[in-house]
Structure 1
Amino acid sequence: MNKIKWVLVFCICSFLGFSQNNSDNKPIENLSSLAKVWGFLKYYHPNVAKGDFNWDEQLIQMIPKVEKAKNKEELSAIYLEWITNLGLVKECKSCSGISKKEYFDKNFDLSWINNSAAFTTELSHKLKFIEANRFQGENYYVTKTSGGNIKVRNEIIYGDFEYPDQNHRLLSLFRYWNTIEYFFPYKYLTDQNWDSVLIEMISKYRYANDALEYQLLMQETVVKLDDTHASFFSDKNFDFFGRKYIPAFINVIENKAVVVGFYNDSLAKLNDIKKGDIIEEVNGKNALEIMLERKKFVNGSNNNTKAKNYDYLMFNGSTDSVKVKIRRDNLVFVKNIKRYSGIDFQPKILINKEKFNIDENNIGYINLDNLEMKDQDIIMQKVNKTKGLIIDLRNYPDFKAYLIARRLIKEDKEYARLIEPDLTYPGRFNFKKTKILDPIKKEYYAGKVVVLVNEQTQSMAEYSTMFLQAGDNVVTIGSQTAGADGDISRIEFLTFKSAISGLGVFYPDGTPTQRVGVKVDILVRPTIKGIQEGRDEVLEKAKEYLAK
């Protein structure tokens, strides 16, 4: 009998615990639905989308009502009354022609409208009616740039909101979440489903204890986009990670944290830091473990790109030095390395500071990072008779090298296909006209061409790689690129600035570039041994390929 009693007690407690968890989750579920309904009305309801309401204030007023709703009937009644007070929605005769358009719809998802567990049938029908008769004018809150990516506008600007009250913290999250929901071209590629990000972050934003925790949460939210362009700017976060740096930067090579370059040569020498040094511990903690712990704060489309972005999370601090355990050749030693403020640093040294050269084997080399737009014609004339040409894009040039790329083809070539947000149907994306490169036939370069890429090849550099790859005799050598193509769109939380990739970029055959990077024909990564010896192994491979 005692065993039976204990089983009954356990079952009752388990049931009560389950009920309690459901009760605790209900406000979060309600707030999640509010975020979606509020964002949907913001971009779809004709009277809201044209700016007739203080939409931030409307959300603040709705939060306490929605939190208290006990079931879907109460919740739906709140939303129905709200929608009624927004005014009449007229029939949209032009909205019915969508079947004739070719959409990119991998990001589009309004299925939540029909969630019978959350909404009554009446509310679902009302929301579907608004979708079918959505706003078709110039949206008050968002427009497009000349390039086609979005430009957020007319949002209320708040004053000192380092740590706003709970409701305004939720407003900050809901603003950002909905901008991504409807206008981020790569939402479908994130590791974590964007709906689950909302659920996770609502609890965290509600109960953030102070300004630092709140601002770190915003950075964590941005990182969940898995987009190298996705950035977040906060003084608190800089203070948390520290504003003083060691004079060297690292990358993950052969699964080890390795010094690959210097911010300042003389300061690195003063601290006895050498290229190829393996960083095993920082302040007594394993370097790779530090990376794993802080991964949620490091932006990047792929692990190859994240690896170079751990710099400031590993070595930054507010003290004047940091204790580092280093492995160099067969020696292992612990030493204190001085930290310096950013103003003491020069820019990262370039792999090669020359604009171009021609070696003894008649192979040309062009470093696009060192060129200006006006240099292209002159340099291409000088390398025109070489038997092979190397174009280095392990950098970020200030221009698009069209004048070089046009000399690598004999006839028109497609090189990219882009998508842009459709503001008449938020969440959907339109295909832009396929990008075509036309030749400069009289100055055709007949030799073989190698394009060099790595994790530093990002955005415009990746786009430049794509049209160089359209060349007749082009091979790409190197490693995975940053995987962040397309123009940047600037968006905000409340007062805090951020950025995202604003356009979707694909190869003409539909192959994506986001997260995966551009196509690489021959994979070559630097080795620890090569770094220690001061060799450029990627460039060596390119010359070896052309020599054959």
Structure 2
Amino acid sequence: MIKKATTILIILFISCSPKSDLPDNSQKIENLKTFSKIYGYIKYFHPSDEAFGLDWDKFSIYAANKVLKCETNEAFVNTIYSLFSPIAPSIRFSNSNGDTLVIKNSNNSDVIGEQFWFHQGVGYGMSIQNGPFYSKRIIATPENDSISFRPRYGETTIVSLNENRYLAIPLVVNVNESGTIPKSSKKSIENLRNKLNNYKIDKSSISFRLGNIINTYNVFQHFFPYFDVLNLDWENELESALIRSFKDSSLKDHLITLRKFTSPLKDGHIFITSKSVKEEVYAPPFFWEWLDDKLVISDVWEDDLNLKKGDEIIKINGVDSKEFFEEINSMISAGTLGRLRHKSEEISLLGESGSKFTIETVNQTIEVTRNQEPYSHAKSLNPYTKIEEGIHYLNLSLMDMETFNYLLPQLEKSTGLIFDLRGYPYNNGEIIKHLMKVGDTTKDWMYIPKIVYPDQQKPKSYLTASWKGFFEPALPYLGDKKVAVITNGKAISYAESLMGFVKGYKLATIVGQPTAGTNGNFNTFNLPGEIEISWTGMKVVKHDGSQLYGIGILPDVYVQKTVKGIREGRDEFLEKAIEIVR
């Protein structure tokens, strides 16, 4: 969890002799951690014109390369000065953490206001520009100063560079008609920009990997909306990612490190890819699931494959199944166990078309081939089934509104309805309206933070919202039937918004397992190497105001698959739902 309220970050340097539990490059790691903090403070919270116009992606890599070359504390301080003074001319260095770091009011008579950064979520450096998230530099004047919680002139973030050297970074700068003041010398800023323009990024270099880690760290450090409920030492995760980056040797290795880095955030929206790394998604003709702490074959699509439902898999490519999945799980960010297992069970099977791997059951070793196109087995599922007279089953992951509207006359005459939301709804959220007797009266349950201070350390405001006006009762009313909704960890994001209405208004009996525990609009940023990272940019709670993140919508009736049920080809979730609506 991000530690609360202090504006001074003490980052002491260790001596040149590394500690026994740290690698030989331990001082370089400490330098990089300190640089990382300064990078984030100036990028997102120091509002100078020079910083605003910088290519921060390339700068992170260029600067990491410079920091790596520092052999002494003095060299590191000089490097920090040379890197940041051209883009943040009002930063101050001092030998003491005292009055010498105070930023005093300018005597310039041409000052028209004070400029600071305002972030709603965050938009600066993000690739999604038309959503609810944005960033802008705001000029506060005596006539127009409406953000009461903004920083005031003279407020700084102070970083300890070593035992007796400090750096003060202003959060507010003065502005005149020509821009922010003070200004860097034209020579110094042009010199830095020319160096960046001429700097060629080497995707195989350590500085490339370190720069991307530093960039990623700062996005989440300052803007991830769930640190207040997540018990996580994010700075410790930064250190682990930096250390791992020294060992990586390829872009694929780098992707793995980024995934391991963000996995502890437990954000099911985190998805990290690179167009430069081809990751095939072909699968073998079977599926497996973890049941009763065992990896079990749950479906088979080729008759000549010497496997049957219920077979336990002991090893994969000679590795114990649990150990095999531990590595996969370490690269997946998921809020609930159900979501984690869904993703790991799926990812563990994927690879290049025609590639082979071995699996071991209790009595045989089988070589299997990945020859199935992605999700091809899902095409055989039925969006609608009449279970028996009066009871109807609707798969919301497959059913479109046209089909639903066609079925409405039959559904109106039914006695029991089963909606299956073990997945993502197929543009059919309006179906929920037919279960509502009254209009939506819930309080706001979506929160986008308004951020003006670094590290999320000071109180912040929120832009809040709900779906009032969108979900009004629709005819015919179907809520007078016995209704069950089946769900599990596959239900994420918009699916959980719908499940929130089902739970909040008690529209049905919820059967199954907790949902994914991840909801809210996602945000996206790009990194050098054609890397894209998506993540949850806003906070969402349940309709009663309680925590959804990492918990999910909980079922009223829990159901657990069993090996016996798998062997018999039964859907135990559906069976329980039928029992409830009869």
Q: Could you state the TM-score of these two structures normalised by the residue count of structure 2?
A: 0.72
Q: Deviations over 1:357-409 (max 9, x none)?
A: 3623x233222122213344443443123333221101222214134335423
Greater Cα offset, 289-298 or 528-537:
289-298
Q: Which residue matches 1:290?
A: 324
Once residues 310 and 202 of structure 2 are traced to their aligned partners in structure 1, the CA distance between those partners, rounded to angstroms, is 41
> Over the residues paired in the alignment, what is the CA RMSD in angstroms?
4.0
Q: Which residue of 2 aligns with 1:501?
A: 536
State the secondary structure of the residue aligned to 1:259: strand
Residues 505 and 226 (structure 1), Cα distance of their counterparts in 2 relative to 1, 3 Å cut: same
* Residue of 375, 378, 383 corresponding to 1:354: 383
- For 2:37, give the aligned amino acid: K
1:398 has 2:421 as partner: no
> Take 2:332 and 2:357, find their aligned partners in 1: how far apart are those partners?
21
Pick from 324, 349, 356 the counterpart of residue 359 of structure 2. Answer: 324
| Equivalent in the alignment of 2:47 | 46
Question: In the TM superposition, what whole-angstrom CA distance separates every residue of 1:339-367 from its partner, at most 9, and x where no partner exists?
Answer: 32x54x5523379503353623x233222
Among residues 308, 313, 336, which one is paired with 2:367 in the alignment? Answer: 336
Contact 2:38 2:159 in 1 (8 A): no
1-structure distance, mates of 2:562, 2:20: 56
Which ranges of structure 1 fall in alignment gaps of 5 or more residues?
Answer: 1-14, 102-110, 135-155
Q: Give, in whole Å, the separation in 2 of the partners of 1:158 and 1:383.
A: 67
1:358-373 alignment, distance < 5 Å: 359-360=388-389, 362-373=390-401
| Aligned partner (choices 525, 541, 550) of residue 515 of structure 1 | 550
Aligned position for 1:175: 215
Asked whether the 8 Å contact 1:409–1:470 carries over to 2, the reply is no
Q: Residue 230 and residue 465 in structure 1: after superposition, are their counterparts in 2 closer, same or farther (change >3 A)?
A: same
Q: Secondary structure at the match of 1:412?
A: coil
In the alignment, is residue 440 of structure 1 matched against residue 473 of structure 2? yes
Other structure's SS at 1:440 match? coil
Asked whether the equivalents of residues 478 and 525 of structure 1 are also in contact (C-alpha less than 8 Å), the reply is yes
1:522, distance to aligned residue in structure 2 (A):
1.3
Q: CA deviation at 1:506?
A: 1.0
Q: Give yes or no for contact 1:176–1:492 (8 Å, CA) kept in 2.
A: no
Structure 1 pair 388–37 and aligned structure 2 pair: CA distance change class (3 A): same
CA contact (8 A) 2:436 2:474 kept: no
How many angstroms apart in 2 are the aligned matches of 1:544 and 1:29?
A: 60
Q: Which stretch of the first structure deviates more once superposed, 454-463 or 24-33?
A: 24-33
Corresponding position of 2:312:
278
The separation in 2 between residues aligned to 1:286 and 1:197, in whole angstroms, is 27
Q: Distance in 2 between matches of 1:510 and 1:270?
A: 52
- Of residues 168, 174, 186, the one that matches 2:226 is 186
Alignment of 1:49-198 (within 5 A): 51-60=52-61, 62-63=63-64, 66=67, 68=70, 70-71=72-73, 75=77, 78-79=80-81, 82-83=84-85, 86-87=88-89, 91-92=114-115, 93=140, 113-114=157-158, 118=162, 123=167, 126-127=168-169, 129-130=170-171, 163-188=203-228, 192-198=232-238
> CA–CA distance in 1 between the matches of 2:156 and 2:46?
17
Contact 1:447 1:473 (8 Å CA) reproduced:
no
Gaps of 5+ in 2: 1-15, 92-112, 116-139, 176-195
Aligned residue type for 1:219: R
**1:459, CA displacement in angstroms?**
1.9
Aligned partner of residue 39 in structure 1, secondary structure? helix
Task: Using the TM superposition, give the Cα deviation of residue 540 of structure 1 relative to its aligned residue in structure 2, in angstroms.
Answer: 1.2
Distance 2:274 2:60 in 1: 25
- 2: CA distance, partners of 1:521 / 1:112: 50
Distance in 2 between the 1:425 and 1:409 partners? 44
Relative to 1, partners in 2 of residues 1:17 and 1:170: Cα closer, same or farther, differing over 3 Å?
closer
- The residue number in structure 1 matching 2:265 is 225
- TM-superposed CA distance for 1:453, in Å, is 0.2
Matched, 1:383 2:411: yes
Q: How big is the shift at 1:478?
A: 0.5
User: C-alpha deviations, 1:123-170, integer Å up to 9, x for none?
Assistant: 3xx32x316989xxxxxxxxxxxxxxxxxxxxx999997833222222
Judge which range, 397-406 or 114-123, deviates more.
114-123
Q: Deviations over 1:504-527 (max 9, x none)?
A: 211133222222111221111211
Asked whether 1:247 is paired with 2:276, we answer no
Change (3 A) 1:375 1:73: same
Deviations 1:407-448 (A, max 9, x none): 423243327611224365675562422333643265333223
Give, in angstroms, the shift of residue 256 of structure 1. Answer: 0.8
Matched residues in 2 for 1:49 and 1:418: separation? 35
Residue 305 of structure 1 is matched in structure 2 by 339
Q: Is the 1:42–1:48 contact (alpha carbons within 8 Å) kept by the matching residues of 2?
A: no
Superposition deviation, residue 290 in structure 1: 1.4
Q: CA contact under 8 A between 1:228 and 1:482: conserved in structure 2?
A: yes
CA separation in 2, counterparts of 1:543 and 1:352? 18
Q: Structure 2 CA distance, aligned partners of 1:433 and 1:71?
A: 49
| Partner deviation per Cα, 1:258-305 (whole Å, 9 max, x = no partner) | 12235xx2xx22213333222122233321221124432234223322
Which whole-Å deviations, capped at 9, do the CAs of 1:75-124 have from their partners, x for residues lacking one?
Answer: 399459834753469624379765569xxxxxxxxx9945658586863x
Tell me if the contact between 2:50 and 2:86 (Cα under 8 Å) persists in the aligned partners: no
CA distance, structure 2, for counterparts of residue 20 and residue 480 of structure 1: 40
2:37 match? 36
| Distance (Å, rounded) in 2 between the aligned partners of 1:163 and 1:57 | 12
Task: Considering fraction of residues, name the structure with more helix.
Answer: 1
Q: For the structure 1 residues 162 and 251, does the alpha-carbon distance in structure 2 shift closer, same or farther, using more than 3 Å as the test? A: farther
The letter for the 2-side match of 1:422 is K
Instruction: Name the aligned partner's letter for residue 325 of structure 1.
Output: E
With over 3 angstroms needed to count, the CA separation of the structure-2 counterparts of 1:471 and 1:261, relative to structure 1, is farther
Question: Using the alignment, how far apart are the partners of 1:253 and 1:28 within structure 2?
Answer: 42
Using structure 1 for the length normalisation, give the TM-score: 0.76
Find the counterpart in structure 2 of residue 148 from structure 1: none
Q: C-alpha separation between the residues in 1 aligned to 2:534 and 2:355?
A: 32
What is the CA-CA distance between 1:535 and the residue it aligns to?
Answer: 1.0
Question: Secondary structure of 1:348's partner?
Answer: helix
Is the contact between residue 460 and residue 485 of structure 1 (CA under 8 Å) also seen in structure 2? yes
